[in-house]
Amino acid sequence: MSSMKESITGVDTQSNDPVDLSDGESVDITEEVSQDADEEGLEDEKNEDGKKRKYKSVVWEHFVRTEVKENGKMVKKDQCIHCNKKLKAQLGGTTTTMKRHIPKCPTLIIARGNKKSCINFSASVATDDGSVRSGAYDQMKCREIIAKLIVAHELPFSFVEYHWFNVLMKYNNPLYQKVSRATIRKDCIKVVDTEREKIMKVFKNVDIISLTSDCWTSNQTVGYMCLTAHFIDSNWKMQKRIIGFNELVPPHSGEVISDSILECLIKWKIQDKIGTITLDNASNNDRAATFLRNNFQRKGKLHFEGLFFHVRCCAHILNLVVQDGLGKIDSCLVKVREGVKYLRKSPGRLLKFGDIAISLGIHTRRSLCTDVKTRWNSTHRMLESAIHYKVAIQEYASRDSNFEWSPTDDEWVRAEKVCHLLEVFLDATNLFSGTTYPTSNLFLVEIFKVKKEITNAFISDDPFLQTMSLPMYEKFEKYWGEIGILMSIASILDPRFKMESVSWTFKRLYPLNEIDDRVQEVTSNLKSLFEKYSNAFVVDRTANSTGTSTSSEAPNVRARREDDFYAYLISQPVENTQKSELEVYLEEPKTLVVKDINFDVLQWWSQNCSKFPILSKMARNIFCIPITTVASESAFSAGGRILDDYRSSLTKDMVEILVCGGDWIKAASKATIQTLELAAKEEEDLEVKLLTSEKALN
């Protein structure tokens, strides 16, 4: 980023105010020529030989060299940046006068609290999590906080050169030293590097990490791939971190995607900890998942026996199902869509429509929403708002002869049916898209609701619903079988559901002649997976006990081996009647909190990990598997703002630093930073408030 210089305006030398808030003063943010000088806050001056020399004394943290006009001549002065007092510049670069001034500077005395007539507010320092604690002012810590502010809130580096930002910082603490965009850029890189080291330490203590990935094209037609790691930390909390936002070289084939993912995993040193990867339903993603699976299998690092390494994004599957259905009934939606567009085009029409709605007793707090054909959730919002104003639309049509899009009574009934069907899909998508709680355990019961609605529409007597539901039913059946085992095992590990979730839903999802085989398939995979975890647990425990044993026990062991009686005992088979953890867990009564929306399944396993040490580890690794790619897709909103039309020249490394660093800083902060969500709502202009005569007068 190129540097910018701001001119220094005149400053009143007689003013004792520590900060001048007048609009006439410009903040001195002169960009230094030397890179080292920029980092240290020094200025350069030419000596007699024409070469630049640097002022290295610490006094230059409090003074700046200026020129003022005296007796018609320009004279160099050393100006205090705190109280604005100007001292005569000494020949030879002597700093004695400036050193004498610093302890006597009235502004610094006030800032340090040594003046009784002033209230001494102790300085505050922000910790890593965003909280604030008291302490002495630290310029470097202040720069670190500003760097986090810029990265987390997606601000430009030139933010530190904004006039009123510097006025505010100087007003809050006169000890604050202005920095340039080049300096804060380096600070941002240092902050992100520190956060990266923290995450790498966390990854060392994680057994299995699940991935989500998606691709995006910037406004410069440059392809990027976002890679997000999902895991459960030592406190049994769901965590996600963006670990890669890399430029993807064309063509975006399966080989290119898999190589980019492997490169990122090697850089983070987690290539042996990957359990699953969730991808959108695309042929290049399928190929990339196959390459990754084969790579891990050759190394013997394929977790879960490769049972569900590749997870298809459930939100994407639901989207395909809905789009297939809406494609068959688009003609039914045309009237509602065009009617809403007609009303939105004119404020006068909106005003008339709002008055009609009020006269009919319809509240107008709900917005009138249009849709985007490729986003079915916007179609649902459009139908929902149109149905709310159904009577008003009919009344408006009778008064405006140009309004040709008033649906008939039969068409309104169909719109209500479609809206109800889409509402089920919307609820399921919102539930599956969560990133702060496990979602795999909720899929089985929720997907039954979707299948039920599709089936009811398919077997109904309404030809309209049958036409819509037929392609939806076929698409659902195509993808359901591929993700059923993972979701079923996760549901069983939810103490509210256990085996009942499988037996109950399978009776309603599959034909009668397939139910027993389906349940048996899930049960056998569950037992096989548990056996693998159990064997690994025994090996770890044996290794730990062997490591703590002493050599003094060896003679006794050898003596027992030589004893015939002990040899006989060892040769006899041991009859183990003890039940396994899995059997004990399944036989225990279910946790009676089925309807508790605040039930935390991770907290339950955290409290019962001593009782079920093997199952709890298995549950931890399965519950961290995301069933949608929403976590990776959400990063594209940040990428679009970072790489806007004015910042398209950012390098790919800097883009990755800003996107990943912003995600890490937000995750480490206790405060909720809703930059992505709020910005997305601001960018989406699908809704418009109704006008009424009362609002127009006000």
Question: For residue 603, what are its two tokens?
Answer: 């907290």
CA distance 216 to 636: 7
Q: Which residue's structure tokens are 């955290």?
A: 606
CA distance 42 to 58: 9
What pLDDT, on the 0 to 100 scale, is given for residue 689?
60
Q: Positive or negative CA dihedral for 537, 542, 545, 547? A: negative
Question: Within 10 Å of residue 86's Cβ, how many Cβ atoms?
Answer: 16
What pLDDT, on the 0 to 100 scale, is given for residue 21?
38
CA distance 291 to 298: 11
Q: Pick the closest to residue 441 from 507, 521, 498, 510 (CA basis).
A: 498
CA distance 150 to 250: 31
**DSSP 8-state symbol, 314:** H
> Could you tell me the CA-to-CA distances from 395 to 352, 353, 407 in Å, in that order?
11, 9, 12
What are residue 158's phi and psi, to 5 degrees? -70, -5
CA distance 208 to 536: 14
CA distance 428 to 447: 7
Contact 156, 175 (CB under 8 A): no
Q: Which amino acid is at 25?
A: E
Contact 180, 201 (CB under 8 A): no
Contact 62, 80 (CB under 8 A): yes
Q: Which helix (H) or strand (E) holds 502?
A: helix 499-509
- Is the entire prediction scored with pTM above 0.75? no
**Cis before 251 (ω within 30):** yes
> Could you tell me the CA-to-CA distances from 494 to 180, 489, 499, 600 in Å, in that order?
54, 9, 9, 10
What pLDDT, on the 0 to 100 scale, is given for residue 200?
94
The residues that bridge with 223 in the sheet, in sequence order, are 217
CA distance 260 to 264: 6
Question: Within 10 Å of residue 473's Cβ, how many Cβ atoms?
Answer: 20
Q: Which amino acid is at 125?
A: V
CA distance 80 to 105: 8
Question: For residue 175, what are its two tokens?
Answer: 């000890």
CA distance 698 to 693: 9
Q: Pick the closest to residue 293 from 278, 310, 281 (CA basis).
A: 310
The angle subtended at Cα 43 by Cα 42 and Cα 44, nearest 5°, is 130
CA distance 593 to 675: 35
Which residues of the chain have a pLDDT value below 70? Answer: 1-56, 111-135, 480-483, 542-577, 591-597, 636-649, 670-698
* Secondary structure class of 478 (helix, strand, coil): helix
State the pairing for strand pair 274-279/209-217: parallel
Q: Where are the domains of the chain?
A: 35-112
Strand order, beta sheet including 274-279: 238-247, 223-232, 209-217, 274-279, 310-312
What is the greatest pairwise CA distance in the chain?
Answer: 116
Question: For residue 262, what are its two tokens?
Answer: 């492997």
The angle subtended at Cα 567 by Cα 566 and Cα 572, nearest 5°, is 95
Where b means 16+ CB within 10 Å and e means fewer, 350-374 reads bbbbbbbbbeeebebeeebbbbeee
**DSSP 8-state symbol, 375:** B
Q: Which helix (H) or strand (E) holds 65?
A: strand 63-70
Q: Which residue's structure tokens are 């800097």?
A: 654
> Could you tell me the CA-to-CA distances from 621 to 147, 200, 233, 310, 359 in Å, in that order?
35, 18, 11, 15, 58
Contact 332, 412 (CB under 8 A): no
